[in-house]
């Protein structure tokens, strides 16, 4: 190459002699160089390796000046180049020799998708299984000795060689759980659905093995993309959802079932368990989805299975209108969004809530943090124009706390506790003076009036209220109503602590 041309090339790429030697050492052509400079992570790697602070900046400038190059090589995957960059950084002298051999055998191979990964893969494969193909295959990638050894415990050698690209990506996604992912890998699906299995692993991470184990194989041929969407939505818990997908309903309305999962969020497993009991047709599901979506938007409800159908939730939406049941007293029920035991999803519990409609205009809410309780009071008052006469709070509890959710701005915020009682005083403008408060939460009345507990803390903030709370771990037996349908007593499975309004 003439000196003038060399100088021109050097100026064009803004490379030092040392940098050019790095590329030439590994047999990289001008086309390779043009490609690699399109990826900032790679130029940053070289800048660090060669102690050239301006290297990445210069390449970024060239990228901006020549978008044509990026378009020409847009088929390359960033992940392939990342693997190559990583290999360069970590290569031993022996591995560098393998790389040079791989590049040497690749002369004349057209630049195309995953070529760089193919070259590196050929070298690594030679190290792993003592085979160096004459021309690197398209699907070959880096499969290091450690990953290969783990895979060999569960998978045939020929299978590993054939699918080492997919196995590499699965190993990256699962980390230390790659071994159990290999154990549960559905090998017979790899031929036709290898990319789908990789996509599921990349979304589920440490939950990959269980996702593979519970994968609904009968749904995979027709609905692969939706199964990946489930993995994107539920991450490590995808296997729990796969296990309970209502298959018959899914086959007639797959997008409707997925929409139900999006709405139910953390309660999807419970919803899917209950769904076949009260949803039978596509029209049933479409109607339910409209009701569920509105209840989530206005009332924060995601545990749709608690209500055993849509009647109560449809009634709940009517509560948004001021003219609905104008003569009745207003009640608010706020349930938790952390109910793994299903304590608030029994037919008996639902029946007790349903009968409150006789005497109250009840609005049902769900909350996963303490602010949700007070927002519900304010919202109900503004919608109905009336103060709240009945407040029911449901959640797992102990003597000092009532747990609403798993997540919140802070750990403390998922609990309603003694420190929050004073907030009831701040929100008493939305409550009637003689408001009835019921804590459907274990032990919140423990010690009765003689000890500190959540019931006494709230009672102190609202001395004119009447308050009911259980003294032990228990369940709701019944609400006792008068002839007008208004509460006169609450019966729990254990003793009930009753703190009546001050006379």
Pairing of β 431-440 and β 401-403: unpaired
Phi, then psi, of 320 in degrees rounded to 5: -70, -15
Tokens of 499: 């703190």
Supply the DSSP string of 211-275, one letter for each residue. HHHH--TTTTTT-HHHHHHHHHHHGGGHHHHHHH--HHHHHH-HHHHHHHHHHHGGGHHHHHHHH
More confident residue, 362 or 341: 362
DSSP 21: H
The confidence score (pLDDT) of residue 140 equals 41
Cα distance between the two ends of the chain = 104
pLDDT digits (tens, 9 = 90+) for 242-283: 999 999 999 999 999 999 999 999 999 999 999 999 999 999
Q: Average pLDDT of 147-158?
A: 89
**Within a 13 Å sphere around the CA of 48, how many CA atoms are in the beta-carbon half?**
9
Q: Any idea what DSSP says for residue 341?
A: T
Tokens of 52: 């050239």
pLDDT band at 330 (very low <50, low <70, confident <90, very high): very high
What are residue 204's DSSP bridge partners? none
Residue 280 DSSP code: -
Q: Is the pLDDT of residue 372 over 90?
A: yes
Structure tokens given for 126: 């030679």
* DSSP classification of residue 265: G
CB of 336 within 8 A of CB of 395? yes
What integer is the mean pLDDT of 89-98? 52
Starting at the earlier edge strand, list the strands of the sheet with 415-417. Answer: 396-397, 401-403, 415-417
Give the residue-averaged pLDDT of 69-93: 45
Entry field: residues in the chain? 503
- Average pLDDT of the chain to the nearest whole number: 79
Rounded to the nearest 5°, which phi and psi values hold at 221? -60, -40
In CATH terms, is domain 319-499 a member of 3.30.1360?
Answer: no
Say if CB 362 and CB 301 are below 8 A apart. no
Whether pTM exceeds 0.75: no
CA 13, CA 11: separation in Å to the nearest integer? 6
Extract long-range pairs of 295-302: CB within 8 Å, 24+ residues apart. 295/364, 296/263, 299/363, 299/364, 299/365, 299/366, 299/376, 300/337, 300/365, 300/366, 300/367, 300/368, 300/372, 301/364, 301/365, 301/366, 302/263, 302/264, 302/265, 302/266, 302/267, 302/337, 302/366
pLDDT of 394-416, one tens digit each?
999 999 999 998 755 555 688 89
Pick the range with the lowest mean pLDDT from 64-73, 156-165, 317-326: 64-73
Whole-angstrom Cα distance, residue 133 to residue 154?
Answer: 25
In angstroms, the CA 39 to CA 30 distance is: 15
- The CA distance from 389 to 75, in Å, is 65
Helix and strand totals (H; E) in the chain: 26, 11
Residue 367, classed as helix, strand or coil, is: strand
Q: b or e along 481-498 (b: 16 or more beta carbons within 10 Å of the residue's beta carbon)?
A: beeeebbeebebebebbe
Percent of the chain topping pLDDT 90: 57
User: Which tokens is 416 given?
Assistant: 């309603």
- The H-assigned helical ranges of 188-223 are 190-204, 208-214
Closest of 104, 130, 135 to residue 118, by C-alpha: 135
C-alpha dist (Å) from residue 49 to 22, 44, 90, 345, 403: 10, 9, 11, 60, 52
For residue 102, what are the CA distances in angstroms to 58, 117, 456, 457, 501?
A: 29, 11, 76, 74, 85
The full set of domain ranges for the chain reads: 3-187, 319-499
């Amino acid at each position: 190459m003439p000196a003038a041309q060399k100088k021109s090339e050097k100026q064009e790429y803004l490379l030092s002699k040392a940098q050019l030697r790095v590329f030439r050492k590994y047999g990289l052509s001008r086309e390779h160089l043009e490609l690699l400079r399109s990826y900032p992570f790679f130029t940053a790697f070289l800048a660090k390796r060669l102690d050239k602070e301006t290297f990445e900046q210069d390449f970024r400038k060239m990228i901006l000046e020549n978008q044509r190059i990026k378009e020409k090589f847009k088929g390359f995957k960033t992940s392939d180049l990342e693997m190559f960059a990583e290999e360069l950084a970590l290569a031993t002298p022996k591995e560098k020799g393998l790389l040079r051999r791989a590049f040497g055998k690749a002369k004349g191979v057209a630049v195309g998708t995953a070529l760089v990964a193919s070259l590196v893969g050929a070298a690594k494969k030679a190290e792993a299984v003592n085979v160096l193909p004459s021309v690197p295959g398209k699907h070959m990638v880096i499969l290091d000795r450690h990953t290969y050894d783990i895979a060999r415990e569960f998978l045939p050698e020929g299978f590993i060689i054939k699918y080492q690209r997919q196995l590499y990506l699965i190993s990256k996604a699962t980390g230390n759980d790659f071994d159990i992912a290999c154990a549960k890998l559905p090998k017979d699906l790899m031929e036709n659905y290898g990319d789908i299995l990789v996509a599921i692993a990349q979304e589920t991470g440490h939950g990959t093995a269980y996702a593979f184990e519970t994968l609904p194989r009968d749904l995979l041929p027709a609905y692969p993309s939706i199964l990946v969407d489930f993995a994107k939505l539920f991450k490590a818990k995808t296997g729990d959802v796969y296990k309970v997908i209502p298959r018959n309903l899914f086959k007639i309305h797959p997008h409707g079932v997925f929409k139900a999962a999006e709405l139910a969020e953390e309660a999807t497993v419970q919803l899917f368990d209950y769904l076949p009991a009260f949803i039978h047709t596509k029209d049933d599901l479409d109607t339910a989805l409209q009701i569920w979506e509105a209840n989530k938007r206005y009332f924060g409800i995601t545990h749709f299975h608690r209500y055993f159908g849509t009647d109560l939730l449809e009634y709940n939406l009517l509560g948004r209108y001021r003219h609905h049941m104008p003569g009745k007293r207003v009640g608010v029920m706020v349930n938790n969004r952390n109910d793994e035991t299903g304590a608030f999803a029994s037919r008996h519990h639902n029946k007790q809530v349903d009968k409150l409609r006789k005497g109250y205009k009840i609005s049902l809410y769900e909350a996963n943090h303490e602010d949700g309780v007070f927002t519900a009071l304010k919202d109900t008052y503004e919608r109905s124009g009336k103060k709240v006469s009945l407040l029911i709070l449901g959640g797992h509890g102990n003597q000092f706390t009532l747990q609403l959710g798993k997540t919140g701005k802070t750990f403390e915020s998922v609990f309603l506790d003694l420190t929050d009682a004073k907030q009831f005083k701040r929100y008493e403008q939305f409550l009637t003076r003689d408001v009835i408060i019921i804590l459907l939460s274990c032990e919140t009345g423990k010690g009765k009036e003689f000890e500190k507990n959540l019931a006494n803390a709230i009672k102190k903030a609202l001395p004119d209220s009447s308050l009911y709370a259980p003294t032990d771990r228990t369940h709701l037996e019944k609400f006792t109503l008068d002839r007008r349908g208004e509460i006169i007593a609450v019966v729990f499975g254990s003793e009930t602590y009753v703190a009546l309004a001050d006379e």
